[in-house]
Amino acid sequence: MRQVAILGVGQTAVREHWDLSLRHLAVAAGRAAMSDAGIDKVDAIYVGNMTSGRINKQRHLGALVADYLGQWGVEAVKMEAACGSAGSAMRQGILAVSSGELSAVLVIGVEK
């Protein structure tokens, strides 16, 4: 298996974001991470989220985030595992890169 490294990180401020949607928060963090890594294209996006289907009526969060990040034609998946959703998304990203299947993935954990 290949070595895996985290090349960039991005985070929104930890506070109440009444003025921003779930999509806005995810995209802002994703853009910041990609900018920090110095990349503009990824092979896949894994979004960890538990509540978007019930609270935001958005069940296809991976595809939505990919679209707003301009990452068309890549695998984009929402991972749901209760309180471990972001951890599951990170694990999936690590497996995808360490297996040699993909080179650069974006992992986002977001809740609102």
Q: What is the pLDDT of residues 5-24, one digit of tens each?
A: 999 999 999 999 999 999 99
Res 11: pLDDT: 97
Res 5: pLDDT: 97
Handedness of CA 54, 24, 74, 83 (dihedral sign): negative
Burial of 22 (0-12, 13-18, 19+ CB in 10 A): buried
pLDDT above 90: residue 39: yes
Q: How far apart are CA 99 and CA 93, in angstroms?
A: 10
Instruction: Tell me the CATH architecture of domain 22-109.
Output: 3-Layer(aba) Sandwich (3.40)
Q: What is the pLDDT of residues 62-92, one digit of tens each?
A: 999 999 999 999 999 999 999 999 999 999 9
Q: How far apart are CA 85 and CA 108, in angstroms?
A: 10
Q: How far apart are CA 69 and CA 64, in angstroms?
A: 9
